[in-house]
Amino acid sequence: MDIEALVGTASTILDDAADPFLAGHRAGSAVQKKGNDFATEVDLAIERQVVAALTEATGIGVHGEEYGGEDVDAEWVWVLDPVDGTFNYAAGSPMAGILLGLLHRGDPVAGLTWLPFTGERYTAVAGGPLIKNGEPQPPLGPVDLADALIGAGSFSADARGRYPGRYRVALLENLSRVSSRLRMHGSTGIDLAYVADGILAASISFGGHVWDHAAGVALVRAAGGVVTNLAGEPWTADSESALAAAPGAHEEILEILRSTGSPEDY
């Protein structure tokens, strides 16, 4: 499989999807999902457009956030999030993008993250380098958390679940003692792309959706970063969390996670 060629084809398809993405900014809820989550008409339309084009051009099935599709355990599968940061997108914030990962037997071997509002296009193939707007980027170097930005997932303090809100509050409190530069962008895909680009030293995701992570995991790994779950185990398509970071910063945050204790204690 010529993965570089597949990424080139996928890039053209995402470029075609950027215009309706930009035009649909501030689109309202069209489909109510679990909890207070929702999808806009733009989510649905872009997924249909990209799935049809990818399937025809590459012959590889697609698993999308809104319609499902090909099994993520397939030998080859594209994983698509047509609008990552839907709440941001609907509210008029530019912190939203299109995420597309290519999995081979569950392993992200390529990633594409399109941020149309900021004009940033990230691609990577396993082995690197990270490509930003067509230009190869230098690999990530060691980072000291005290001098860096850290991205974190959003939450309600009173929420329950695998990572209760009180646990997240405690973790962010402990992180703030090391770095006062915590950031909550509301888009997992942007956080992961910005780790790969060296803008963030690390990103913590409390979610387990493969479409949120696949593209960004490929980007971070290609850039020389490390991606695990919050327990420090290698990230897989079945992981229910993600910790992505530059060398050095990853181990620092793992130590903070360990000192915070188990989510079950909260």
Which residues are annotated as part of the binding site for Mg(2+)?
Answer: 65, 81, 84, 212
Furthest CA-CA distance within the chain = 51
With 0-12 / 13-18 / 19 or more C-beta atoms within 10 angstroms meaning exposed / middle / buried, residue 151 is: buried
> Which residues are annotated as part of the binding site?
65, 81, 84, 212
For tokens 């080859």, the residue is 76
C-beta of residue 218 within 8 angstroms of C-beta of residue 109: yes
Handedness of CA 140, 146, 149, 155 (dihedral sign): positive
Q: Give me the half-sphere count of Cα atoms (radius 13 Å) on the Cβ side of residue 155.
A: 24
C-beta of residue 20 within 8 angstroms of C-beta of residue 61: no
CA distance 229 to 223: 18
CA distance 132 to 5: 17
C-beta of residue 56 within 8 angstroms of C-beta of residue 99: no
Q: Which among 10, 235, 222, 138 is positioned nearest to 1, based on CA atoms?
A: 10
